[in-house]
Structure 1
Amino acid sequence: MNPVISDPPVILFVDDESSILSALRRLFRPEGYRVLLAESGKAGLALLETEPVDLVVSDMRMPEMDGASLLEQVRERWPAVGRVLLTGYADIGSTVEAINRGQIHRYIAKPWDDRELLMCVRDSLERRRLDKENRALQLLTQAQNDELQALNSSLAARVKARTSELEQLNAMLETSFAELRENFLLSINVFSGLVELRGGGTAGYSRQVGDLARRIARRLNAGAMLEEDVYIAGLLHEVGKIGFPDTMLRKPLSAMASDELALYRRHTLNGEAALLPLGKLQRAARIVRSYHERIDGKGFPDALSGDEVPVGAQILSVASDYYSAQTGRLSIKRYTPAEAQSLILGGAGMRYDKSIVQAFELALNDEPSEKPQDREMQAHEVMPGMVLSRDLLSPQGTLLLAAGYTFDARVVRQLREFAGRQNVKLNVYVKLANSP
């Protein structure tokens, strides 16, 4: 697979003073951005017609067309383009008007502080990059839906219903979450639920694997980045199985024929190939590729051994095998949690590194022993300002909203409409007013 080469971000600066534009160009060119300049709102709109622009930074006070009018047109015609206002006078009324009309993301007072302006632009461009990645993940989800329909026509009705539910959830995500990172992780959770629906497996299995993998990484003091990578890899580690026949999806590993085993051994490669195009998921994709490797060299697909097996892949291997044993993925017999734990301990030094098995034992006890300080209610009782204390799941076990989300009026209305339209009972747990 050829690596994806990204073009540098493009910033358009609009100001009627050429000296200001020159100063902005000198400040931002060393940052690696492509800088476009316009001395009027009209000239700025003309550039937007012909150039791909990621962010517009406009002065407020300009002749003929002020910054508020310019950014309002940018919002209407190019809503995905970021918008920042430079204001050089203390007219709070005009600034508020610009915020309302152009829905600007930030405003900076002139004369500006170089460091503050650089940070503002970086933040705005990062928001746009994350938004692009989120839309790419949604496109990937739709593509997987189409593949499901082609592989098995008998699933068409279920896939159509699931796709409809995903569209509703994506609409909620786009309007509900202030943090794009939370939106990105929630989309992964939803896609993980779709993979489980295809396999007819236990709802929430992938989230259990991802959560345990994250706790093992935390016990190893492996750092926040690896904790997130193994969590994402846990959610998506079975994506490569999406093309398996129905009969094979429901068959334990120990009962597979030789041709089925050959197909099974390719699912990690297929999973890596599906995830690699998304920059945010490249590290998780490599973990997915190697989570069936063993430190004794008897794993697949690359027969790695010892330290050649990435730490993240070893962590995911332990977490996956622990829950696979309990859900009938490894053998016809379904292991109890104690038996599954003994299975992992028995593989220390051969299948798994001993330090990771020790961290696994500690992580099993990290689940909260006390119930959270919350109360249960139905969708029609939820009010704006309340905070979710636990993940909100659909009746099928898929994630609707993540714990910690603060309800606003729009999402409260959508939640009630969803419960009424689907005629389902949603158990919503919210934090008590005095709980941390």
Structure 2
Amino acid sequence: MAESLPPNPRLLLVDDEENILRSLKRTLRKESYDICTATSGDEALSLLNDQRFDLVISDARMPGIDGPTLLSEIKKKWPWCIRILLTGYADINSTIKAINDGQIYRYISKPWDDEELKLVIRQALAFQYSERRRLALEKLTRKQNKELQALNASLEDKVQARTEELKETADMLDAAYTELKHSYVTATEVFSTLINKRLPANRQPNAKVIALVKAYAEYHQLDEDLSRDLYMAAALYNLGKLSWPDDLFMASSDLLSKEQRLEYLKYPVNSEQLLMALEPLRETARIIRHHQEKWNGYGVPERLEGREIPLGSRILRLAVDFIELQYGLVLERRVSRDNALKLIKRYRDRLYDPEIADGFLEMCIEVAPDVEHEDPDIVALDTLRLTAGMVLARNLYAASGMLLLNEGKELTSMLIDKLVAFEKGEPDGSRYTVYVHRPDEEETERAS
């Protein structure tokens, strides 16, 4: 029990009879208490005003201020002080008054049992000590709760400020990353012009492949990442050709010797290896590596088949073949735009993904992107973009090979209408590409 008591408890014993006080002190002499005595209620109140006591034991019947009244006064002024009443068997009314008004801890009957008295005092002090600790803990808890609330409010403000700071930083990083990705695309297009310096003037397809890939991506609304990787692949797919000898550059792919053919087939892998060290170009490098695979599984370098071929590679293959056929890089002769589209249609399920090939052909028919002629004064147009007064720069043939209009022919509204009607009657749905001389500004102004 000792460890549950306050250190050096102070007791005040109040009784108008000295012998009772001596008897109480004698009973408690071996206890570790600091004991004071008072012979009246007034003296007890005076001591309480000057000193702090943990427990008061008061006799019920005393002249002047009796025990219940004293304990009631102590309850009002020093409520934390434990109050015990000594009473005789006949003092039932005093006991009730002490219980009701003084809210005493216990009452002890005279004559008391020494051991019971000591036990009651110990229990009372232990209870008091426990209550003091509980109250102190409650006070500390309230204080800490207030501090915690203040800290939480401060923390919320700091978190909010930090969150806004992080969001601002994230937005800046996103903007920087977007700018970096855009810079990579721009850099690859610039680098493609350097590749062209190694290629003959009439065999520089990169710019046209880039324009065609962009038109396809916009027409079919490809996602941003795939579009960006495709743009860069279109700019850099020829990178692996830089180490070629001049004679390999000048030969069409269908006329290569066995040794040249082996060297030619390496260029997609060589291009990929030159780009692999650049992390933002990893997917671009992968597209380039597989852009010479064939839908039927007989391509290079890994003989991938069907959808095993990366989507970007399937799209790039179409764009490269369409442009390089017209540049004479595939066959011995240059292939017209219309015939290039026919070859793509013919091989749509052998060389190309049929679904993508159909989308590519649809895009070329609907959008009809021009593949610029070597002569800047010549433009390629579909029939719907022709206007009266334009002059043919090349002979125009039907799908059957029949000559429709001669080079140098000036178009009239009637000729254009007949040409459109004839085009609609082509059995395979072929569309014509008409090469005309670019009208000068004065003629354009007069026409308008």
Q: Compute the TM-score of the two structures, normalised by the length of structure 2.
A: 0.44
Highest Rg: 1 or 2?
2
Q: Kindly indicate whether structure 1 or structure 2 has the higher relative contact order, using CA contacts under 8 Å at least 6 residues apart.
A: 1
Relative to the length of structure 1, the TM-score reads: 0.45
